[in-house]
Amino acid sequence: MKIASKLPSPDKLVIASRESALAMWQAKHIQAHLQSLYPKCDVQILGMTTTGDQILDSPLARIGGKGLFVKELETALENGSADLAVHSMKDVPMNLPTGFMLVATGDREDPRDAFVSNHFDSLADLPNGSIVGTSSLRRQSQIQARYPHLKIESLRGNVQTRLRKLDEGQYAAIILAAAGLIRLELGNRIRNFIPPTDSIPAVGQGALGIEIKASRTDLIDILAPLNHQNTQLCVEAERGFSRSLAGSCTVPLGAYATMQADIISITGFVASVDGKQMVRETVTGEAQLAEKLGKQLADKLVGMGANAILATLDGVK
């Protein structure tokens, strides 16, 4: 996070957030930064329940995708109930509705997937036929590719609900984003961090996004100090990749970018749900071309057969 320039302090800012424990942690995290930047500002949080939070008995891919977690928050921005919304970047659709913009990307927490189990140390230790819970086709495809003897079942709900279902014995193991567990001080539940070489993370995983109405240009400079440039550029590359392939939670794909000395390296994949078909590649280039690098990676995968894999997904979701 940058140090705020000597901008006039706003009198009041309202943050729209989902009401889950993790979403509220994220909103309070941004609230604390804003209060530090603008001590005279009254920073409030407007908690909301989204459609994605309400429908828990179906996989996201079947009920409309991750946009279900942001729609109500955007309505609050539209009608003026809130000034900004805080999202997990992995939940933000690749194309925002007209009239909205992402104004800042917060520093990234650990982007890896986490293996959580009460009895086993890793996916490799799970016996034949063990049930693994995940809500992600991206995770499912990568697990099935490496461990076809495991059974994948859908797992929905907030972090605490998912852990409870594991503790009740419904699953031998579950896979969650490490970032959420760490932020909720539940890192002790992680038995194993799955390296990106084995499970490429979701686009934007671990990063926070700040969304506003595009017409609220008065907020751009005020919120600029919340932006972490390296994270922003890496996430731009990842989103450029996903956008080029029309990626959403209905498509088993992932991308992970890292940055060193103004050079971005991004690895991405596209797979069939069962993991039997998969293309994967890495490209490297100048950070200032972040989004173009993502598109370049997508084009490479198309050349390797990504479109043929994507075509087979129609009707499989």
Q: What CA–CA distance (Å, rounded) separates 302 from 307?
A: 6
Q: Are residues 246 and 219 in the same domain?
A: no
* 35-51 pLDDT, tens digit each: 999 999 999 999 987 65
Q: What CA–CA distance (Å, rounded) separates 144 from 203?
A: 20
Q: Are residues 100 and 21 in the same domain?
A: yes
Q: Are residues 71 and 17 in the same domain?
A: yes
Q: Are residues 144 and 293 in the same domain?
A: no
> CB–CB of 178/256 below 8 Å?
no
Q: Are residues 178 and 212 in the same domain?
A: no
Q: Quick check: 79 pLDDT over 90? A: yes
pLDDT band, very low/low/confident/very high, at 8 (cuts 50, 70, 90): confident
pLDDT at 53: 47
In a domain, 3, yes or no: no
Q: Among the listed ranges 18-22, 212-216, 265-269, which one has the minimum average pLDDT value?
A: 18-22
pLDDT band, very low/low/confident/very high, at 64 (cuts 50, 70, 90): very low
Q: What CA–CA distance (Å, rounded) separates 33 from 193?
A: 29
Q: At what angle do helices 159-167 and 21-37 cross, to 10 degrees?
A: 150
In a domain, 7, yes or no: no
> CB–CB of 212/84 below 8 Å?
yes
Q: What CA–CA distance (Å, rounded) separates 238 from 204?
A: 7
> What is the domain extent for residue 248?
241-310
pLDDT at 68: 63
In a domain, 236, yes or no: no
- Mean pLDDT estimate for the chain: 90
Q: Are residues 123 and 172 in the same domain?
A: yes
pLDDT band, very low/low/confident/very high, at 246 (cuts 50, 70, 90): confident
In a domain, 316, yes or no: no
Q: Are residues 216 and 271 in the same domain?
A: no
In a domain, 127, yes or no: yes
Number of domains in the chain: 3
**Average pLDDT, integer, range 189-204:** 96
Q: Are residues 214 and 94 in the same domain?
A: yes
> CB–CB of 281/301 below 8 Å?
yes
Catalytic residues: 91
In a domain, 317, yes or no: no
In a domain, 2, yes or no: no
Q: Are residues 81 and 144 in the same domain?
A: no
Q: Quick check: 191 pLDDT over 80? A: yes
pLDDT at 265: 98
Q: Are residues 59 and 141 in the same domain?
A: no
* 119-135 pLDDT, tens digit each: 999 999 999 999 999 98
Q: Are residues 100 and 211 in the same domain?
A: yes
pLDDT at 71: 84
Q: Are residues 137 and 278 in the same domain?
A: no
pLDDT at 317: 44
In a domain, 255, yes or no: yes
Q: What CA–CA distance (Å, rounded) separates 56 from 157?
A: 6
Q: Quick check: 91 pLDDT over 90? A: no
pLDDT at 132: 98
Per-residue HEC secondary structure of 257-285 comes to: EEEECCEEEEEEEEECCCCCCEEEEEEEE
Instruction: For residue 258, give the CATH number of its domain.
Output: 3.30.160.40
* 14-25 pLDDT, tens digit each: 999 999 899 999
Instruction: For residue 134, give the CATH number of its domain.
Output: 3.40.190.10
Q: What CA–CA distance (Å, rounded) separates 155 from 135?
A: 5
Confidence (pTM)? 0.89
* 93-112 pLDDT, tens digit each: 889 999 999 999 999 999 99
Q: Quick check: 298 pLDDT over 60? A: yes
